[in-house]
Amino acid sequence: MKVKRIEHVGIVVRDIEASRKLWEDCFGIKLGGIEENATRRLALYPVGDSMVELLAGITPDSKQSKMIAAGKGGLNHICLEVENIDAALAELKAKGIPLLDDVPRIGHAGCRIAFLDPSATENCLIELAELPAGTAHHA
């Protein structure tokens, strides 16, 4: 498996707009983009070759809203960009690493993503991402 870089670090926040003040006004990092689906909103902040991804639930039953309600906001996961996610998942499975996603799904910016089971990674949630063909980096 070829890990290319840390693609992003995911942080679960209560409110994207309130959190933007910290990242933009205090740290001076420009917003790279905002994405939203039916249950969550995310803000991406490019930092060098990586990003900080802020995630907030937009419905009370979303995973992020439930995490905040349970006091489990903050650092959520580390995403590693891999060259070939299918090969990476097959290699990890062969090494006995349990996966939360046996098959990649579509994540932010059209990336193919999959999560590893934290029970095998020292309780650290790790996401793998393969960027769409022809994309060097994205924000």
Domain definitions of the chain by residue range:
3-130
* Statement: residue 138 has pLDDT above 70: no
First to last CA, the chain: 24
Superfamily of domain 3-130: 2,3-Dihydroxybiphenyl 1,2-Dioxygenase, domain 1 (3.10.180.10)
Q: What's the rounded Cα separation, in Å, for the pair 134 and 26?
A: 34
Is-contact 79 138, C-beta < 8 A? no
Q: What's the rounded Cα separation, in Å, for the pair 49 and 80?
A: 12
pLDDT at residue number 133:
86
Is-contact 41 35, C-beta < 8 A? yes
- pLDDT category at 21 given cuts 50, 70, 90 is very high
Question: Helix and strand tally (H, E) in the chain?
Answer: 3, 8
pLDDT in tens, 37-65: 999 999 999 999 999 999 999 999 999 99
* Statement: residue 97 has pLDDT above 70: yes
> What's the whole-model pTM score?
0.92
Residue with tokens 């960009």, as numbered in its chain: 81
pLDDT at residue number 134:
75
Average pLDDT of every residue of the chain: 95
pLDDT in tens, 99-124: 999 999 999 889 999 999 999 999 99
* Statement: residue 137 has pLDDT above 80: no
